[in-house]
Amino acid sequence: MDSGDSNEDALRPFVEAEREFIQLQAAGDHDAAVRCLETVLRAEQGVVQQMPDAVLSSLFERLAIGYNTLGMKHLKDGNTEISCKFFEKAEALTDPANLHMTADSRLVLRAVTYNNMGCFYKSFGKLHTALQFLKKAETIENRSAGKCQNPAGTHLNLCALLSQMGKHQEALQHGEKALKLLEVAGPTQHSADGLAAAGSTNTESLVCVAYFNMGAEYEHLKKRNEALWAYQRAYESCLTELGEEHPLSQQISGCLVQLQGKGKQKKASPR
């Protein structure tokens, strides 16, 4: 048997584990997907040390995606302790010390991890810690020359967080940045991380969220006309993308009616 066959045999468990991971992820069994990669990496440690970086990077990338997926799943289910452990694993895996991961992939997944950790800490009121993680994600995305997956999502998460902190002018700026990025990206971008503002993942519905968040910030800043304009754009985008019955469409419609009602009350009140 030549060395080529020997290498192929050594790599076979990893190839099979990666194939199984993809199938399990597609079936929605994220726990089993992560376990199958962790098992092969643990069982074949001797081979791992000799593996080509390209092969190892691919495995680590999938594992980091799996950890983030499970982190967000458990966060949504209210299992914060388990969620935190998966985010910590993703953070450790995407550390600069991991030289087996290609630099670009590591940075992309580092930004996703920080973004999700921002959502994690925001979910139970640790707003300043959440802000630190979202700012870290933003810093990576700003220097990634467009390689990161969803910088608009980071800006929307920052917009929602800063609004909660009462920093409405800064929040509005992030809403505007998100909208610009989404308009440049066009209708093909998909997000990989958790959006605080809505559970939608495609660009059109993120445009809707961006306008909606901007409308809320304009309203906080007492800019009624600008708020009406942003809510109207959000509603039009939502009707096209999500339909009239979607909860977000109904929420925006309610904001529009309420703001229009306030305007009528002002006009009717005696001077």
For residue 263, what pLDDT is reported? 66
> What is the pLDDT, as a whole number, of residue 203?
62
**pLDDT score recorded for residue 199:** 36
Asked if 33 and 25 count as a contact pair (C-beta separation under 8 A), the reply is yes
- Quote the CA–CA distance of 178 and 132 in Å, as a whole number: 19
Whether the CB-CB separation of 90 and 67 falls below 8 Å is answered with yes
Ranges of the chain whose pLDDT falls below 70: 1-7, 187-204, 263-271
CB 191 within 8 A of CB 151: no
Q: Would you state the pLDDT for residue 201?
A: 47
Q: Report the run of H or E that residue 107 belongs to, with start and end.
A: helix 103-123
SS3 call for 73: helix
pLDDT for residue 173: 98
Specify the pLDDT at position 148. Answer: 87
The 10s digit of each residue's pLDDT in 56-69 is 899 999 999 999 99
From the options 3.40.50.970, 3.40.50.1260, 3.90.1330.10, 1.25.40.10, give the CATH code of 164-266. 1.25.40.10
DSSP 151-202: HHHHHHHHHHHHHHTT-HHHHHHHHHHHHHHHHHHGGG-B--S--SS-S--B
139 contact partners, CB below 8 Å, separation of at least 6: none
Q: Where in the chain is the domain with CATH 1.25.40.10?
A: 164-266
Q: Give the pLDDT score at 200.
A: 39
pLDDT at residue 205, as a whole number: 86
| Residue listed under structure tokens 């993942």 | 201
Residue 118: partners with Cβ closer than 8 Å, 6 or more residues away? 130, 131, 133, 134, 137, 157, 161
The Cα 174–Cα 189 span in angstroms is: 18
Q: What was the pLDDT predicted at 147?
A: 82
By residue count, the chain amounts to: 271
How much is the pLDDT for 192?
Answer: 37
Q: What is the structure's pLDDT at 14?
A: 86
Q: How far is CA 216 from the centre of its chain?
A: 21
